[in-house]
Amino acid sequence: MNKIKLLLIATIISFNGFSQNDFTFEFFNNIDDQENILFSPTSIKTAFAMAYEGTDGATQHEFEKVFDFKPNNEQFLEEIKQLKEVAQINNSVWIQNKFKVLASFVKRLKSNFDSAPYHTDFKKDPFGSAKKINEWIESSTNGMIKKMLSADDVKDFKLAIVNAIYFKQNWKNKFDKEATKKAEFTNADGTTTQVDMMHSSGHYKAAQGRNEAVIELPYDDDKTSMVIVLPNKMKNYKMTNETYNELTTKMASQQVRLYLPKFTFETPTFELKKYLQKMGLEKAFTDSADFSQIRKEKDLKIGTALHKAKIIVNEEGTEAAAATVIGMVQITTAAMPPLILNINVNKPFFYFIKDNASNTILFMGKMNTIE
């Protein structure tokens, strides 16, 4: 398996005010301890935007800080609307049978995210509940994301917020399959692997910098493209939003001879919690979470936030999919038993006689010995 880190931004949309890339690179740099990396910031942010509709107080403020959400979130909703023109984005919410949530929350999810609620029995039928959500995700990703959840994942859920994104486009300039040859690929640890290396010559927007090369491969829809950043040395190379913007700004159309490996990469289902906590989303995962816009009882928190992604790159183009599941669980902090104070006056002590109204001490004593 190729061991080089892959920074693949499959869907690049350019319009003023697009706020997602700040989150993309901050999240990337928090998970940059993995061998291969693939995630969909669009999927993650959309799922958490749905959860954001249920927040209040300090929890709401943390969502706004980490995801750059705003109280009405109009800008983000507009961004998602535009992204739906180039990718299939679907949302759903799954509610435990007989578990009451505010009608206003369900209405906002339907209005803003087109996600009518489904009902299931996570508690009594976790296997069936996981199966239903998995089938919804598989259908929404054209079969790319399968069996994301297990019964054990969902058994404590009261509410599941789910996003799925699917992208497929052919290259504007397809690679000639006859030109694909076996070639050596050097992994991050210095070992080598034989890969199917595609080849193309033509005009591309590209640039060669001191530390890296960058190229943009347009897709056939003329709305999307893949940007590839190839550092001279991956070790200690820092990829930030500023770096990305600087590199893509420098690109210009020029003649390029391109060699690109065919590859398929799929992540396991992985937990987002520890990475988002590092970024400042803390209260949402604790008993102090405030999701009172979902339930007035203020008794929900995020138990788990799971993500899974897959990409296929070949001579024809690119197919990619991802899904995010936020599992809301009920806060189960047990009531503390009343404290029983045990006082054993079995050694020397002081004593006082006082006026209760004025708290004036009338007598004071010290008892060292009792005969």
Q: What is the pLDDT of residue 189?
A: 83
CA dihedral 96, 164, 32, 150 (to 10 degrees): 40
Tokens standing for residue 304:
């788990």
354 assigned to some structural domain? no
Q: What is the pLDDT of residue 106?
A: 96
359 assigned to some structural domain? no
174 assigned to some structural domain? yes
Q: What is the pLDDT of residue 40?
A: 92
341 assigned to some structural domain? no
Query: Which single residue is written with the structure tokens 């054209």?
Result: 142
Domains identified in the chain, total number: 1
- Residues 244 and 229: beta-carbon distance below 8 Å: yes
CA separation for the pair 289, 58 (Å, rounded): 8
Q: What is the pLDDT of residue 362?
A: 46
Q: What is the pLDDT of residue 13?
A: 33
Q: What is the 3-state secondary structure (H, E, C) of the chain?
A: CCCCCCCCECCCCCCCCCCHHHHHHHHHHHHCCCCCCCCCHHHHHHHHHHHHCCCCHHHHHHHHHHHCCCCCCHHHHHHHHHHCCCCEEEEEEEEECCCCCCHHHHHHHHHHHCCCEEEECCCCCHHHHHHHHHHHHHHHCCCCCCCCCCHHHHCCEEEEEEEEEEEEEEECCCCCHHHCEEEEEECCCCCEEEEEEEEEEEEEEEEECCCEEEEEEEECCCCCEEEEEEECCCCCCCCCHHHHHHHHHHCEEEEEEEEEECEEEECCCEECHHHHHHHCCCHHHCCCCCCCCCCCCCCEEEEEEEEEEEEEECCCEEEEEEEEEEEEEECCCCCCCCCCCCCCCCCCEEEEEECCCCCCEEEEEEECCCC
> Residue type for 126, please?
P
CATH number of the domain that residue 165 is part of: 3.30.497.10
Q: What is the pLDDT of residue 210?
A: 86
CA separation for the pair 159, 99 (Å, rounded): 9
User: Cα dist. 152→123, 125, 130, 172 in Å?
Assistant: 10, 11, 9, 44
364 assigned to some structural domain? no
Model pTM score: 0.85
346 assigned to some structural domain? no
Which residues have CB under 8 Å from 47's CB, separation 6+? 91, 161, 162, 163, 305, 324, 325, 326
Q: What are phi and psi of 166, to 5 degrees?
A: -135, 130
- Residues 196 and 262: beta-carbon distance below 8 Å: yes
- Residues 214 and 248: beta-carbon distance below 8 Å: yes
Q: How many residues does the chain have?
A: 371
CA separation for the pair 111, 105 (Å, rounded): 10
Q: What is the pLDDT of residue 236?
A: 83
User: Cα dist. 126→78, 123, 271 in Å?
Assistant: 35, 6, 19
CA separation for the pair 325, 1 (Å, rounded): 27
- Residues 11 and 80: beta-carbon distance below 8 Å: no
Q: What is the pLDDT of residue 269?
A: 95
Q: Which domain holds residue 136?
A: 1-332
Max Cα–Cα distance, the chain, nearest Å: 109
370 assigned to some structural domain? no
318 assigned to some structural domain? yes
Residues of the chain with pLDDT under 50: 1-18, 334-335, 350-353, 360-365, 370-371
